[in-house]
A and B are shown apart, each in its own frame.
Chain A
Amino acid sequence: MSDHEYIPKSKFGKWFNDRLPLLTLANHLTDYPTPKNLNYWWTFGGILTFCLITQIVTGLVLAMHYIAHADMAFDSVEHIMRDVNYGWLIRYIHANGASMFFLAVYIHIFRSLFYGSYKAPREIIWIIGIIIYLLMMAAAFLGYVLPWGQMSFWGATVITNLFSAIPLVGEGIVTWLWGGYSVDNPTLTRFFTLHYLIPFLILGLVVLHIWALHVPGNNNPVGIDIKKPSKDTVPFHPYIVIKDGFALLMFMIVFAFFVFYTPNILGHADNYIEANPLVTPAHIVPEWYLLPFYAILRSVPDKLLGVVAMLSAILILAALPWLDTSKIRSAVFRPLYRQFYWILVADVLILGYVGAMPAEGLYLLIARVATAYYFLHFLIILPILGFREKTMPLPLSITEPVLGGSQNLALVKDRKKFEN
């Protein structure tokens, strides 16, 4: 928070602000000191906000025309595509928007992993982020069920059946989730309700996410603490606003290309076949953004353990601030971590790839190795690396570039002495 008290100029402004300090908030958001060396990987926070709002606005319009009933859902989607004015545009933005949202969130998460943004004092930001990510996956899954196509129906069947792996109460939970003895109309109506609810939960958490961010301020590519405000920072407006805006426009070009020219490429053809409980599709696959976790699920032969592995793969991220024992944030100064980081990126991409393939033969073997490595990275490599790795000297500030070599190392040592 900025240290000086904001006093509105106008009399009315002062009167209002004394009662509800909205102007102080606006002033804080405008002046918010931001590290000036943020690169384009930092623009995805703004892009994600745009994605969330786009999904809520288009979703609102879709909900006006959609009918959550097992006999009418598929027809109502076709009605949107054909007869609602620009219904095709709104639906394609919403459907591709989900993919764009995940694309952006994955970049956002991996940026955080690279620059150590999850480390002290930003653990709460990170954990809220993980909860948002979990809710996003829930919202995406629920939304995919709503068109009531074959993949909707069978995806819902497969995912809800995962709960049956829970000992003793599993079957009961599944029946409770379905609202019956199979995925049917009661399932669809509750999925629709929850799909409508979750984005607003996410919105609330996003406010907390940003609030928590504004307490310590942004991390930065160098990963060192900086004095705020100082010559290392710029005010959020106009510097970061225009830069985020530029990046957002680039992102929107990609988005528009999907919406207007390949609107169905990220979906599955089977979802244009109306749900039929009597016909199972040849391959049941989730949307691309859930594939790595699907691969982890299938790589474990036991159903319960598979579910546990899949959930742990996500929840392990919440423990990351404590699993990573290194005090250095940015991978720029961690030569070994940098290598492991890229191996992890490749590992997750491989998991995503084998998740789309049938779970047999070579694919299954690759999935198992990649799953094992995923957990190895977080549970073994990261904790040990923090103690063993010889990191490079940190610069004293952003404006002071690393001069390299011994002189700078001495500076860092001096600083440590000074701090002690």
Chain B
Amino acid sequence: MKNFFKIFSFLVLLFGFSTNLNCAEKVEYLKTDWSFKGLFGKFDRGALQRGYQVYTEVCASCHSMKYLSYRNLAEKGGPEFSVAQAKAIASSFEVSDGPNDDGEMFTRPGKLSDKFVMPYDNVKAAQAANGGAYPPDMSVLVKARGGGVDYIYSLLQGYEEPPAGVTLDDGVYYNKYMYGNKIKMPNQLSDGLVEYADGTEASVEQMSKDVTTFLMWSAEPHLESRHRMGFKAIVYLIILTILVYFSMKRIWSRIETKI
């Protein structure tokens, strides 16, 4: 046991040392309070609805969300728009469908069961429209980036004038949180860019937080039920463990030995 602690403290030192080394190179991400962190973390419904608004008015012109359907917007644990609202949202999009009985493709208003409409027909078209860079699909973007929500939140606010000595090509922008600092997406957010339906002031910070929350939900749509079930499961396991512990003590008391 003593040796175990020796090794353990050695490891702690080792890792502590190495994280210090790494920190020297990395930039600290901007911090904010995320309502969905922690044992009982839940999404902020307002933030999700506002985040959807930012997504659809700003991001959606380039970024797809191919794993989301309009029905998801009305599902529990999500933005929880009413079914009527979600239907209205869906029908505001033109969806191509077909072929019909004449063998023709046609467009119709969206339904709840439709996937989010893609801004481009294919990756090549997206690249052609964006100077060769493909705007990544945002469905699981938060989980696909090392820094997660903090990274996305910071990136949206990380646009700066390039420091002296850094030259940028045409169509490349400076962002202090981007890997290598060079990003092909221009700064999208500016104060008052969207007019929030609930009257919240649309500062860059507020919009970044809202849209990042929305992206977290789109990446982990079952996060709330996961947290709820996790708490129940762990409490159950702890109680059962305690009961089994006492049964074990009882059973082993027949034998004169310590366990």
A residues lining the B interface (CB < 8 Å): 36-37, 75, 78, 81-82, 88-89, 92, 234, 238-239, 242-243, 245-246, 249-250, 252-253, 256-257, 259-261, 263-264, 269-270, 272-273, 282, 338, 342, 345-346, 349-350, 353, 357
Contacts and interface: CB of A to CB of B under 8 A. Distances in A.
Given A88-B226, A246-B248, A342-B6, A253 B241 contact: yes
A118 to B, nearest CB: 20
A262 to B, nearest CB: 10
Interface in B187-234: 219, 221-222, 226-227, 229-231, 233-234
Nearest to A261: B230
Contacts of B10: 346
A242 B244 contact: yes
B27 interface: no
A246 B238 contact: no
Given A257-B234, A264-B143, A353 B244 contact: no
Contacts of B6: 342
Given A249-B244, A346-B10, A350-B14, A78 B139 contact: yes
B143 to A, nearest CB: 4
Contacts of B3: 338, 342
Interface of B: 3, 6-7, 10-11, 14-15, 18, 39, 67, 72, 136, 139-140, 143-146, 148, 179, 219, 221-222, 226-227, 229-231, 233-234, 237-238, 240-241, 244-245, 247-248, 251-252, 255, 257, 259
8 contacts: A234-B255, A246-B244, A257-B234, A260-B227, A260-B229, A272-B144, A342-B6, A350-B14
Contact of B233 (A238, A256, A342): A256
B245 A246 contact: yes
B143 A261 contact: no
A29 B6 CA distance: 39
Nearest to A234: B255
Given A78-B140, A346-B10, A253 B234 contact: yes
A39 to B, nearest CB: 8
User: Which among A75, A242, A346 has the greatest number of chain B C-beta atoms within 10 A?
Assistant: A242
A416 to B, nearest CB: 27
The 4 A-B pairs with the shortest beta carbon distances in the complex, nearest first, are A260-B230, A272-B144, A249-B241, A272-B143
Interface of B is mostly: helix
A36 B252 CA distance: 10
Contacts of B245: 246
Contacts of A234: 255
Contacts of A239: 251-252, 255
B174 to A, nearest CB: 20
Contact of A345 (B7, B219, B244, B247): B7
Contacts of B7: 342, 345-346, 349
A36 B15 CA distance: 38
B251 A242 contact: yes
B140 A260 contact: no
B230 A82 contact: no
Given A249-B237, A260-B234, 8 more contacts: A36-B255, A89-B229, A246-B248, A253-B234, A256-B237, A257-B230, A259-B230, A272-B219
A259 B227 CA distance: 10
Contact of A243 (B140, B143, B259): B259
A272 B229 CA distance: 24
Given A342-B7, A353-B18, A256 B234 contact: yes
Nearest to A354: B18
Contact of A89 (B226, B231, B252, B259): B226
A242 B245 CA distance: 8
B5 to A, nearest CB: 11
Contacts of B39: 261
Contact of A260 (B11, B226, B252): B226
Given A242-B248, A260-B234, A78 B67 contact: yes
A352 to B, nearest CB: 10
Given A89-B226, A342-B6, A246 B241 contact: yes
A234 B132 CA distance: 71
A11 to B, nearest CB: 32
A364 to B, nearest CB: 15
Contacts of B179: 282
B248 A261 contact: no
B234 A245 contact: no
Contact of B144 (A238, A250, A261, A269): A269
A264 B237 CA distance: 22
Contacts of B222: 81-82, 88
A252 B237 CA distance: 8
A353 B238 contact: no
Nearest to A259: B230
B127 to A, nearest CB: 12
A166 B259 CA distance: 52
Nearest to B145: A269
Given A246-B248, A256-B230, A342-B6, A82 B237 contact: no
